[in-house]
């Protein structure tokens, strides 16, 4: 349980997610890491170059900071403290509660990420240099995928979790395993 609780802290070291944009003119693809508290370049100046590219279709600049960068770290630290208390003091039943809490928070985080992506891809400058429409006549959006790969005009966009997200998932998984083991132990001791 202890390891499970501590693993999500790796989010402060490793990125959570990565969005990569591939196009023929970019033999080295443009890429952006999403950390729990920051956006960063995959290669120097990538975010600047993504912004430059996106301004043609009226997308906003990727902000220096978003409110989530403050909320997420607080969330992770709070849940870690709760987890630590549980690991040392509480019964295995609480392991499950922590696991469920984490599932709920992660889902909320992902949904928030989706909302941001949607806004980023759809809230376009009306004076955009190039305007594209879908076959049905609606304004084309440029939302990157939440998970997976997608063709967006001349780019192929990839969006996948990184080591930080894996640490979080593994930590949560371990807490669930700890719960199961605790349950088994209890059964055995009863028997």
> What does the binding site for another protein look like in residue numbers (CB under 8 A)?
28, 44-45, 48-49, 52, 56, 129-130
Q: In the complex, what is the shortest distance from the CB of residue 33 to another protein, in angstroms, rounded to a whole number?
A: 18
65 or 130: whose CB is closer to another protein? 130
45 or 93: whose CB is closer to another protein? 45
74 or 129: whose CB is closer to another protein? 129
CA distance 80 to 77: 5
54 or 79: whose CB is closer to another protein? 54
Q: In angstroms, how far is CA 63 from the centroid of its own chain?
A: 16
Question: What residue spans of 16-91 are helical by DSSP H?
Answer: 46-54, 68-89
CA distance 114 to 126: 23
Q: In the complex, what is the shortest distance from the CB of residue 23 to another protein, in angstroms, rounded to a whole number?
A: 12
Q: In the complex, what is the shortest distance from the CB of residue 60 to another protein, in angstroms, rounded to a whole number?
A: 17
Q: In the complex, what is the shortest distance from the CB of residue 168 to another protein, in angstroms, rounded to a whole number?
A: 32
Helix axis angle, 92-122 to 68-89, nearest 10°: 170
48 or 70: whose CB is closer to another protein? 48
Place of tokens 């593994």: 170
Encoded tokens for 186: 């209890």
Please name the helix (run of DSSP H) or strand (run of DSSP E) that holds residue 26, with its range, or none.
strand 26-34
Q: In the complex, what is the shortest distance from the CB of residue 49 to another protein, in angstroms, rounded to a whole number?
A: 5
């Amino acid at each position: 349980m202890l390891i499970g609780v501590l693993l999500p802290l790796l989010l402060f070291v490793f990125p959570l997610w990565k969005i990569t944009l591939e196009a023929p003119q970019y033999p080295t693809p443009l890429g952006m890491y999403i950390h729990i508290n920051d956006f960063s370049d995959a290669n120097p100046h990538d975010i600047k170059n993504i912004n430059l590219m996106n301004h043609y279709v009226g997308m906003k600049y990727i902000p220096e900071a978003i409110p989530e960068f403050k909320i997420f770290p607080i969330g992770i630290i709070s849940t870690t403290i709760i987890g630590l208390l549980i690991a040392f003091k509480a019964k295995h039943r609480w392991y499950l509660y922590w696991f469920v809490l984490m599932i709920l928070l992660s889902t909320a985080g992902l949904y928030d990420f989706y909302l941001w992506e949607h806004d980023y891809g759809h809230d376009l400058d009306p004076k955009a240099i190039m305007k594209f429409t879908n076959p049905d006549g609606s304004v084309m959006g440029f939302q990157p995928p939440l998970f997976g790969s997608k063709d967006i005009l001349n780019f192929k966009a990839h969006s996948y979790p990184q080591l930080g997200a894996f640490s979080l998932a593994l930590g949560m998984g371990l807490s669930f395993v700890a719960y199961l083991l605790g349950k088994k132990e209890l059964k055995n001791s009863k028997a």
